[in-house]
Amino acid sequence: MHFRGHHYRYDEHGRTQTKQTIGATQHYHYDADHRLSEVRIEQLNKTERYRYLYDALGRRIEKQKLDREGKPYNRTRFLWDGLRMIQETGPNHPTSLYIYTDQNSYEPLARIDTDGNQEQHIRYFHTDLNGCPEELTDENGKILWECSFQLWGKRIHEIEHESVEQNLRYQGQYLDRETGLHYNTFRYYDPDIGRFTQPDPIGLLGGLNLYQYAPNGFTWVDPWGLSCFKIHSRIKESNKLVKEAEITGKSHQSSIDHLTKQLSLNNKNPGIGTKPIGHGISEARARDGARVYFREINDSIIEILGKSNKANQQTVINEVLKVFGRGA
């Protein structure tokens, strides 16, 4: 396959075997479970090799740079909480502990770096609407790292203001700078072509296109590399719901956005929990009184039907049930 100066070859299992670019060729090797186990990068006068190790649950726990004899001499280790990477430790950067916006979220909130002198530094993430980091700042708001991206996650312009490296990308993704691939829990994602390097492990349950990340990278997310979810708003179908959503947004927009992002990650119990209001419609609740009314259409689409605060809660519930209560 050829795409924008890149040439790809695939093996009999549909896995990317080689990726050829100007000046370099990457060769991919897989283990018996179809996980990327080693990469060999051939450039003009040198060859580099990297090895990747996984635990029994398929989570990557270590990556190694190998010497000419195949012995590891540069290791980066990862610790996990469920399917979220919460810590990385490497030889060329401090130990980093990751904190996310919610207990079920893959959107990063902050990271705590511990340097060689055991001093801790808190860095804060500033993300796009899809949860992809755009900036990293210190406690005083000073920008330490910033990056702009194309639609499918390819870097346009990256700046490390104080040699602070930041490798989180789309939710659930970690950039391997040696290859340019994003580790996406159960697969690897190539931002150069906006698709995965391997077919979907769950087959057609993840969609007809076995390599597709999502229909688009703005409103869909796929933190595991298995299947993606879409948020579809139907609020504009009622002028009254639009008006009440505008009122709610003036005081509770941050909480509304957080609830919506959690729903996009297929977290049906965000914030302080949800409760049904009838006709298959549920109310997601935030601690400050923000409410999002939603309905699950299938395994990949969630409809947003209304937004409220404590003051207009019953008004919005009545209108949501009136407009959508018959399964419209």
The number of domains in the chain is: 2
Of 221, 251, 284, the last residue of a domain is: 221
The residue from 173, 202, 221 where one domain ends is 221
Number of Cβ atoms within 10 Å of the Cβ of 8 = 18
Within 10 angstroms of residue 297's Cβ, the number of other Cβ atoms is: 12
Instruction: Report pLDDT for 130.
Output: 78
Claim to verify: residue 168 and residue 273 sit in the same structural domain: no
Q: Same domain, yes or no, for 312 and 204?
A: no
Residues 153, 294, single domain; the answer is no
Task: For residue range 169-213, list pLDDT tens digits in order.
Answer: 998 999 999 999 999 988 999 999 989 999 887 665 556 678 877
Domain C-terminal end among 201, 221, 241? 221
3-state SS string for 192-255: CCCEECCCCCCHHHHCCCCCECCCCCCCEECCCCCCCEEEEECHHHCHHHHHHHHHHHHHHHHH
* Residue 99 within any structural domain of the chain: yes
Q: Residue 116's domain spans which residues?
A: 62-221
Q: Are 136 and 126 in contact (CB under 8 A)?
A: yes
Give 209-226 pLDDT, tens digit per residue: 788 776 555 556 666 665
- What pLDDT does 299 receive? 65
Confirm whether 4 is domain-assigned.
no
- Residue length of the chain: 328
* Domain-embedded: residue 31: no
DSSP class per residue in 254-288: HHHHHHHHHHHTT-SS-BTEEEEEETTEEEEE-TT
Each residue's pLDDT tens digit in the chain (328 positions)? 777 778 999 999 999 999 999 889 999 999 999 999 999 999 988 999 999 999 998 999 999 999 999 999 899 999 999 889 999 999 877 899 999 988 778 889 999 999 877 889 999 999 987 788 999 999 999 999 999 988 788 888 999 888 899 999 998 999 999 999 999 988 999 999 989 999 887 665 556 678 877 655 555 666 666 555 667 789 988 989 989 998 998 899 889 888 887 787 677 888 899 999 999 999 999 999 999 999 988 766 788 999 999 999 999 999 999 999 875 5
Decide if 314 is inside a domain: yes
Is residue 279 in a domain? Answer: yes
C-alpha 274/C-alpha 283 separation (Å) is: 5
For residues 305 and 4, give the distance between their C-alpha atoms in angstroms, rounded to a whole number: 41
Does this model's pTM top 0.85? My answer is: no
> Are 217 and 235 in the same domain?
no
